[in-house]
Chain A
Amino acid sequence: MRIQIDTNLSTPLFNQLMDQIKKAVMDGLLNPGDPLPSIRQLANDLELNHNTVAKAYRILERDSVIQTKGYRGTSIHADAKQNSTVNMNDSITTKLSETIKSLRESGATDSEIRIAFSNVMKNQ
């Protein structure tokens, strides 16, 4: 199974990587238990920074699309197929929209919401 990253696209590289792994799982090209290359191997093959691949792997592991088992390396998670359909972007957008809606209803202006959001993000 081959993947291709385009450094000219505006989509972040780690997102491209995650999307392609998820798509491969959905298409049945990668199945539960299939081994994945190490971060070092994949980063060097794609001529990417190791942190970029590590970030993609970390998020995929959080979403239970992949799993890391010590010296046995990284492989596709048993529930990868169903977890690949979950899109965190959609979930975050929905939750933020609900919060913004309720803040507007309580009288907050968009400018106040932006400043508050920015402050909260900085302080986290």
Chain B
Amino acid sequence: MNIDLLLYIVLFSQIMFLSYYYPRRMLIRIHTIFENYPPSEFPKLYPESIDKYKKAAKRYLVMNHLIIGLGLGLILWFYVTPRTGEWDQAIVFWYFMIQFLPNLGLELWTMKYHKSMRLLNQDAQKKAVLQPRRLTDFVSKELLGTAAVIFVIFVGFIVYVDQFDYPWFGGYLNVLIISGTYLFFGSIIYRAMYGKVKNPHQSYEDRKIDIQTLIRQLLFIAIAVTLYAILQISLKAFGLESFKAITISLYFHVIVFLAMQWSRLNSINFDVYKDKPALTK
């Protein structure tokens, strides 16, 4: 199959998966919450007016529609413009960054939402479980071991490639970058496990599930990032650079798929968002 045609197919899939399918699933989830858990019954779930949240959801949808248009325009531009393919990977990368923007906005919005929740929280009763949280309470030792082994393999791979003196090869800078990524993910995990409570109403069990989901996602993403780095260096070493744009796009598919592992709505305890019954004599 023609490499260009393959790139169009993969890029089209990236557009639809990241800017149509993922936001659609996210919005279905948000609207299901609006419908099944209304402010009248679950006031603590809405520190501000529900209309504000509906507007934010609409904005998220519109932004993604615009990005789909931009992506389709990009494929068209790829098709009509004669290219050397040299910049394809960078273009796909920067298009992904644009695709990520609405989700970054949603993440910032969620932080603001939790802050409003904390500010309005009048509950004088603070609860905790007298048990230390450990990494292995959330993920299996096998998964942790796999991430560690893949990192060691990566370091070995860099040491091996370093002998060939490729002029383009960044050498141990690659190890530094991947180590930085692992450290960054580690700091996020640490904050999730021991940091401040984001949602003051959330049940302990739901918080545990959230932490577990986050740790699993980050570990899988760390493994994916490392394998992708090995793949990119290998493609370059074997002179298969024309596949770099396709592989980066496939890599983004994997990353988003891993980030999409949300907890099931019907397993979340929404009763904590109800008003407490008035005290009676």
Contact = CB atoms under 8 A, between A and B. Distances in A.
Interface of A: 1-8, 21, 24, 30, 35-38, 40-42, 44-48, 73
Size range of the chain B interface in the assembly: 10 to 19
B131 A47 contact: no
Contacts of B204: 2
15 contacts: A1-B129, A1-B131, A2-B129, A3-B127, A3-B128, A5-B127, A30-B130, A35-B131, A36-B130, A37-B131, A42-B128, A44-B197, A46-B126, A46-B128, A47-B197
B239 interface: no
A68 to B, nearest CB: 12
A73 B194 CA distance: 14
By secondary structure, the A interface counts as: mixed
A48 B197 CA distance: 11
A43 to B, nearest CB: 9
Given A38-B194, A40-B194, A45 B132 contact: no
A30 B131 CA distance: 10
List of 7 A-B pairs having minimum Cβ-Cβ separation, nearest first: A45-B128, A8-B124, A46-B126, A7-B124, A5-B126, A1-B130, A37-B132
B170 to A, nearest CB: 36
Of B129, B130, B131, B196, most A-chain CB atoms within 10 Å: B130
B133 interface: yes
Given A47-B196, A47-B197, A47-B200, A41 B124 contact: no
